[in-house]
């Protein structure tokens, strides 16, 4: 201790000449309590002291176990810090003041999927199985999704969507449809909770028997997470909302904080560097056919579905992707005599990434062993491709199917020729 400070403290006990110094009051009721304990200890016999020590140890253990039960084991550290360290000090890196833990959201906290800043950035994603049937269009909630996966679910290439939400909080999502086993592996790679209305037995066996991943099934409808609308026929009338799904996650006691490592992101390129238009077509059949028109003003790809502008039923907003990824994957019958697909979404294959009005050739890769590993997208140099901040559409399609990219200015009013989808094939989509 410095000499001047030490002298200052020593002078507090000196009695000035001609003055009566009143002894300073030390502590308060808590100080008197501990003084009383000290006097009791001095007067106690040896056996009574042992009894008091045992009682104290039992009390500390009881409080510690209760703290661990309700606040986790880190709560024990905080408790002992509060008991044995002075006010304002810290022990083991934990602040004594509980309010100190309520840190404001760090500036720049972003969704690990879309790269957009939002207050839900650290919340676990929810992946909702959504219809692609024309009777359900326009769909509800898609404009607020971080990522949408589109993939064939039947051998005739009838597709289904999986909309993944982190930042968005749509008031209605749907219609909600059944799960397929290929989507489970993609959802697991995002650390998502799966939302679905039943599923193929290939999917349900993995969910109900193997307990492969956390999921919210409308067939059991936990916490009233789903509802039906009277203006649509079944099975096209099942809907939910993000509020209902988040509540179900809490009721089911699923983990709520994400562990997804995320994708690399980049900002939009300047307007003067953007190409003037471009048209991307995805060769799904008939009403499933997809077209994206690149808009240089917003640096996004405006989606057209079955020849009709794709919009969100909730808000009328045009569906516009910042990134469109075409993932080439083989498919086959999951089992002879069944209509269900088995799509190779694990392993590796050719990928085309469309962003900033340009096309990047590369490859996709996903572990066949570790289901929780994410789906990677690499360029031709083996580097992970950064995605533009915003919505991502992942289009999974067979290598033999047509995908075309016409760079340059799009011609207004033109549409690509659409493959036909027979009546018998369309009925299988139900």
Residue 356 has pLDDT above 70, yes or no: yes
Contact 299, 322 (CB under 8 A): yes
The percent of residues in the chain predicted with pLDDT above 70, rounded, is 71
**pLDDT band (50, 70, 90) for residue 20:** very low
Per the model's pLDDT, the better-predicted residue between 20 and 179 turns out to be: 179
What's the pLDDT score for residue 60?
Answer: 61
Asked if residue 234 has pLDDT above 50, the reply is yes
Strand partners, 384: 378
pLDDT for res 36: 58
Could you tell me where the DSSP H helices lie in 16-106? 29-43, 46-71, 73-84
Residue 334: per-residue pLDDT: 82
Average pLDDT over residues 338-358: 94
Residues present in the chain in total: 430
Pairing between strand 193-196 and 126-130?
parallel
The tens digit of pLDDT for each residue in 66-88 reads 544 444 433 443 343 334 333 33
Mean pLDDT of 275-296: 96
Q: What is the DSSP string of 177-189?
A: --B-HHHHHHHHT
Look at domain 126-428 and name its CATH class.
alpha beta
Structure token digits, residue 415: 């549409």
- Whole-prediction pTM: 0.71
Q: Which of 266, 260, 263 is nearest to 122 (CA)?
A: 260
Could you please report the per-residue DSSP string of 90-101? -BTTB-SSGGGG
The answer to whether 133 and 236 are in contact (CB under 8 A) is: yes
Cα angle: 143, vertex 148, 150; to 5 degrees: 130
Look at residue 97 in the predicted model and tell me its pLDDT.
33
pLDDT tens per residue across span 189-231: 999 999 999 999 899 999 999 999 999 999 999 999 999 999 9
Mean pLDDT of the chain: 80
DSSP state, 339?
A: -
Using the predicted structure, report yes or no on whether residue 107 has a pLDDT greater than 70: no
Provide CATH 3.50.90.10 ranges for the chain. 126-428
In the chain, the percentage of residues whose pLDDT exceeds 90 is 65
Instruction: Let me know if 367 is exposed, middle or buried by CB neighbors in 10 A (0-12, 13-18, 19+).
Output: middle
Question: How far are the Cα atoms of 309, 311, 313 from residue 316, in angstroms, in the given order?
Answer: 11, 6, 5
DSSP 255: -
* Whole-number pLDDT of residue 306: 96
């Amino acid at each position: 201790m410095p000499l001047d400070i030490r002298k200052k403290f020593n002078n507090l006990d000196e009695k000035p000449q001609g003055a009566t110094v009143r002894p300073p009051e030390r502590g308060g009721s808590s100080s008197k309590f501990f003084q009383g304990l000290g006097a009791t200890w001095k007067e106690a016999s040896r056996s009574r002291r042992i009894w008091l020590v045992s009682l104290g140890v039992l009390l500390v253990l009881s409080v510690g176990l209760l703290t661990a039960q309700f606040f986790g084991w880190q709560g024990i550290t905080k408790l002992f810090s509060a008991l044995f360290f002075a006010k304002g000090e810290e022990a083991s890196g934990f602040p004594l003041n509980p309010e100190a833990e309520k840190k404001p959201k760090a500036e720049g906290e972003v969704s690990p999927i879309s790269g957009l800043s939002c207050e839900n950035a650290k919340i676990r994603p929810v992946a909702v199985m959504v219809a692609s049937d024309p009777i359900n269009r326009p769909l509800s909630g898609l404009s607020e999704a971080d990522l949408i996966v589109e993939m064939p679910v039947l051998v005739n290439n009838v597709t289904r969507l999986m909309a993944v939400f982190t930042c968005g909080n749509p008031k209605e999502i749907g219609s909600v449809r059944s799960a397929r086993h290929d989507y489970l592996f993609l959802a697991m790679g995002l650390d998502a909770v799966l939302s679905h209305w039943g599923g193929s037995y290939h999917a349900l066996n993995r969910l109900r028997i193997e307990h492969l991943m956390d999921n919210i099934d409308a067939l059991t409808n936990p916490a009233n997470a789903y509802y039906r609308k009277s203006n649509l026929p079944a099975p096209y009338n099942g809907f939910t909302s993000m509020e209902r799904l988040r509540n179900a996650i809490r009721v089911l006691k699923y983990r709520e904080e994400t562990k997804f490592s995320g994708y690399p992101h980049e900002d939009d390129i300047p307007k003067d560097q953007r190409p003037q238009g471009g048209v991307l077509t995805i060769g799904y059949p008939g009403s499933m056919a997809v077209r994206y028109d690149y808009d240089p003003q917003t640096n996004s790809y405006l989606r057209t579905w079955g020849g009709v502008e794709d919009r969100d039923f909730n808000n009328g907003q045009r569906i516009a992707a910042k990134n469109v990824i075409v993932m080439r994957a083989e498919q086959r019958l999951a089992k002879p005599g069944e209509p269900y697909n088995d799509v190779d979404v694990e392993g590796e294959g050719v990928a085309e990434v469309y962003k900033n009005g340009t096309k990047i050739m590369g490859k996709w890769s996903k572990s066949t062993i570790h289901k929780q590993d994410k789906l990677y997208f690499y360029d031709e140099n083996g580097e992970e491709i950064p995605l533009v901040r915003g919505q991502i559409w992942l289009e999974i399609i067979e290598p033999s199917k047509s995908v075309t990219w016409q760079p340059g200015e799009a011609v207004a009013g033109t549409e690509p020729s659409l493959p036909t989808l027979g009546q018998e094939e369309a009925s299988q989509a139900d």
